[in-house]
Amino acid sequence: MSEFVDRVSVHVKGGDGGNGSAGIRREKYKPLAGPNGGNGGDGGSVILVADANANNLLDFRFLPHRSAGNGTMGLGDTKDGSRGEDLILPVPLGTVVFEAKGPVGRPKKPGKVLADLRHQGETFVAAAGGSGGLGNAALANKTRRAPGFALLGEPGQERDLLLELKSIADVALVGFPSAGKSSLIAAMSAAKPKIADYPFTTLVPNLGVVKYGDYRYTIADVPGLIPGASQGKGLGLEFLRHIERTEIIVHVIDCATLDPDRDPLSDYRALEEELALYADALKLPLGSIPIPDRPRIIVLNKMDVPEAKELAEFVRPEFEKMGLEVYEVSTASHEGLKEFGFALGKQVQEMRRQVLDQEQAEDEARVVIKPLEETGRRRRREDGRGSASDFSIVREEDRGGDFWFTVTGAKPERWVMQTNFDNEEAVGYLADRLAKLGVEDELRHLGARPGDEVRIGQGDRAVAFDWDPTIAAGAEILDGANLGARGKDLRLEEQEAGGRRRTNEERRRQYHEMMDARAAVRQAMMAERKAGHWADPSLDDDRHDEHGILGRGEDSEPATPGDQA
């Protein structure tokens, strides 16, 4: 017989997004013809789906770690990576998903309710996949025309969940141990629960499908309850949650008990007190009927015993005075089962209609805001402009006097995970985004100085660095200067001595300057030629020029013979 599991802890992880590509289109005579890197594929998600064919959580007991597929990396020629495959996990109807709390290696406790999967086909994204990184083609703009970097893919969501099954049945059978609940469900349905003559025979809830005429409904056999079950006594605390989703509560009372301290009326009052205590601490989903308002039916069992028959005739008027329906049955001789089955089916049909109307009323009263449908992949804003509410900065200090500034927020933490810190241009791009978001202004407002430690994020994914607002920022931002792209592209430094690629306007201006200089040289040379300044260098036409080609430096007038004498 398979083990019944109704509470498990599971560790789920969404797929990581693929990295973007930093490809460059290469053409003849154009080694850097433009960026063409594609975006990385998104990671797959872990999705829980309510399935009527699933009856327990046994699969999660043996495989508690589940993860979805990763996205692939983008390629050149603007080829985007493929999306990771989603992991679809079927769970039984009535599964409640809690946020698991507790230290590592210890049993988890339920925290915040994340989802309540009650109907067929309802889904819940247990762990969302990470977004793929943008390629350099998507990062290009008018100030950064050829980015030499791409964004990294974001890691998928990872967390611990607690799955708890609250059986969805139309009728719940409650009663003291050995009251005959398992025998009743076995007599009315095809279920084969364990039946024995000792208390707490039923250790797990049993479900049975009952069909009488046109009526078809489900009965849940809850393990025996005793006084104190709502505080954890006996087995009641573990299985009281299985009556939360039932529409009708049937009290199965043993009229043949040999315990002198028990009688049908005291059994009924004791169990109702435990149900009331459990209902006070219970948060029911929208549209559900509170446990105290659900109809009660009394079943006086074991009518095949003569003493039980006499006791039933004595206590039946007392229950009817309370406005309760009473049925006398025997699971051994099947006495009264047919009458009880048809009456129960009629009551179930009425309660289903009432619950449906109440759920529709609750849905109409709620205001549901749905996001607009988007076709295709939405391009993220490259500038990352935001407000101060998008992040928060706290100055922290330890006992040794060391202090640092911690920056938290969805945008800064996501941008840090997307940055390749081995690429200086990518780090400059991150600095641009943080500056435009207002992080540097807020750090300056809190008294941060260059060299102070700044941490972005928390936990293992936090990134620490020394704050340096002078990297092509700082005063330039305060002066209102148009901040360009920070960081350096090593490819362009090797390509041009100026350390960056010239714009078309600069190319045109330099070309015209060069052509004007050539024209001026030609004009000057033509003027010298017309003035006779040009001569054959092989002829010594000026023998008195000591700086001439021959350099003889003779006097301008020849000496006379008298002078020589």
**For 187-210, what is each residue's pLDDT tens digit?**
887 766 555 454 444 456 677 788
179 is in an annotated binding site: yes
Residue 197 counted as an annotated binding residue:
no
**Cα–Cα distance, 190 to 208 (Å, whole number):** 7
The Cα 224–Cα 200 span in angstroms is: 6
Q: Give me the residues paired with residue 8 across strands.
A: 163
d(CA 206, CA 171): 12
Residue 285 among known ligand-binding residues: no
What is the per-residue pLDDT for 207?
Answer: 75
Convert the pLDDT of each residue in 446-463 to its tens digit: 888 888 888 888 877 788
CATH number of 171-364: 3.40.50.300
- Closest to 302 measured CA to CA, from 175, 160, 113: 175
Q: What is the pLDDT of residue 133?
A: 93
pLDDT of residue 195: 56
Consult the annotation and say whether 556 binds a ligand.
no
Alpha helices for 41-121 (secondary structure H): 58-62
Higher pLDDT, 119 or 85: 85
Q: What is the pLDDT of residue 46?
A: 95
The answer on whether 314 is annotated among ligand-binding residues is: no
Range from 35-39, 238-242, 306-310, 456-460 carrying the lowest mean pLDDT: 238-242
- For 239-242, which contacts have Cβ atoms below 8 Å and span 24 or more sequence positions? 239/204, 239/205, 240/274, 240/275, 240/278, 241/164, 241/166, 242/6, 242/166, 242/167, 242/169, 242/172, 242/205
**83 has pLDDT over 80:** yes
pLDDT reading at 15 higher than 60: yes
Query: Is position 450 annotated in a ligand binding site?
Result: no
Residue with the larger pLDDT of the pair 461 and 8: 8
* Overall average pLDDT of the 137-145 stretch: 84
Give the mean pLDDT of 89-103.
Answer: 87
Q: What is the pLDDT of residue 457?
A: 86
pLDDT at 298 over 60: yes
CATH fold label, 392-470: GMP Synthetase; Chain A, domain 3 (3.30.300)
The per-residue pLDDT for range 373-425, each reduced to its tens digit, is 544 444 444 444 444 457 888 888 888 888 888 898 888 889 989 998 888 88
Contact 182, 200 (CB under 8 A): no
Q: How confident is the model at residue 169 (pLDDT cuts 50, 70, 90)?
A: confident
Q: Which of 179-183, 204-208, 284-288, 298-302 has the highest mean pLDDT?
A: 298-302
Q: Which is more confident, 71 or 227? A: 71
**Rounded mean pLDDT of 304-329?**
86
User: Does 266 count as an annotated binding residue?
Assistant: no
Q: What's the CA angle centered on 131, arms 129 and 136, to 5 degrees?
A: 155
DSSP letter at 250 equals: E
User: Rounded to whole angstroms, what are the CA distances from 216 to 28, 39, 93, 114?
Assistant: 77, 54, 18, 32
CATH class belonging to 7-165: mainly beta
Name the token pair of 178. 């050995």
Q: Is 201 annotated as ligand-binding?
A: yes
| Annotated binding residue 181 | yes
- The DSSP symbol for 44 reads P
Q: How many CA atoms lie within 13 A of 557 on its CB side?
A: 4
Q: Report whether pLDDT(554) > 80.
A: no
Consult the annotation and say whether 332 binds a ligand: yes
Q: Alpha-carbon distance 451 to 469, whole Å?
A: 9
- Segment 100-122 shows an average pLDDT of 84
Collapsed DSSP state (helix, strand, coil) of residue 235: coil
463-489: average pLDDT: 54
Predicted confidence (pLDDT) at residue 478 exceeds the cutoff of 50: no
The predicted pLDDT at position 65 comes to: 93
Mean pLDDT of the chain: 77
Identify the helix (H) or strand (E) that includes residue 508: helix 504-530
Q: Quick one: CA torsion of 174, 180, 183, 187, rounded to 10 degrees?
A: -80
Give the pLDDT mean for 263-276: 82
Q: How confident is the model at residue 236 (pLDDT cuts 50, 70, 90)?
A: very low
CA angle 150, 152, 154 (to 5 degrees): 145
pLDDT at 113 over 80: yes
Distances (CA, A) of 541 to 281, 453, 534, 538, 544: 120, 78, 11, 9, 9
Q: Do the Cβ atoms of 173 and 221 come closer than 8 Å?
A: yes
| pLDDT reported for residue 548 | 53
pLDDT band at 439 (very low <50, low <70, confident <90, very high): confident
Distance of alpha carbon 133 from its chain centroid, rounded?
A: 16
Is position 488 annotated in a ligand binding site?
Answer: no
Cα angle vertex 312, ends 311, 318, to 5°? 105
Q: Is the pLDDT of residue 18 over 90?
A: yes
Answer positive or negative: Cα dihedral of 22, 27, 29, 33. negative
**303 carries a ligand binding annotation:** yes
Query: Domain residue spans in the chain?
Result: 7-165, 171-364, 392-470
User: Has 203 been labeled as part of a binding site?
Assistant: yes
CA triple 171-173-174, angle to 5 deg: 135
Q: What is the pLDDT of residue 70?
A: 95
Does the annotation list 406 as a binding residue? Answer: no
Determine if residue 76 is labeled as part of a ligand binding site: no
* The residue to which tokens 């109704």 are assigned: 6
Tell whether residue 177 is among the known ligand binding residues: yes
Q: Is 176 annotated as a binding residue?
A: yes
Asked if 132 and 20 count as a contact pair (C-beta separation under 8 A), the reply is: yes
Long-range contacts of 313-319 (CB under 8 A, 24+ apart): 315/255, 315/263, 315/264, 315/265, 318/265, 319/264, 319/265, 319/268
Q: Please report the pLDDT score of residue 307 as a whole number.
A: 82
For residue 19, pLDDT beyond 90: yes
Binding site annotation covers 182?
A: yes
Output the pLDDT for position 44.
94
pLDDT at 45: 95
Q: Is the pLDDT of residue 153 over 70?
A: yes
Give the pLDDT score at 59. 86
Structure tokens at 251: 């009290």
Ligand-binding site membership of 200 (annotated): yes
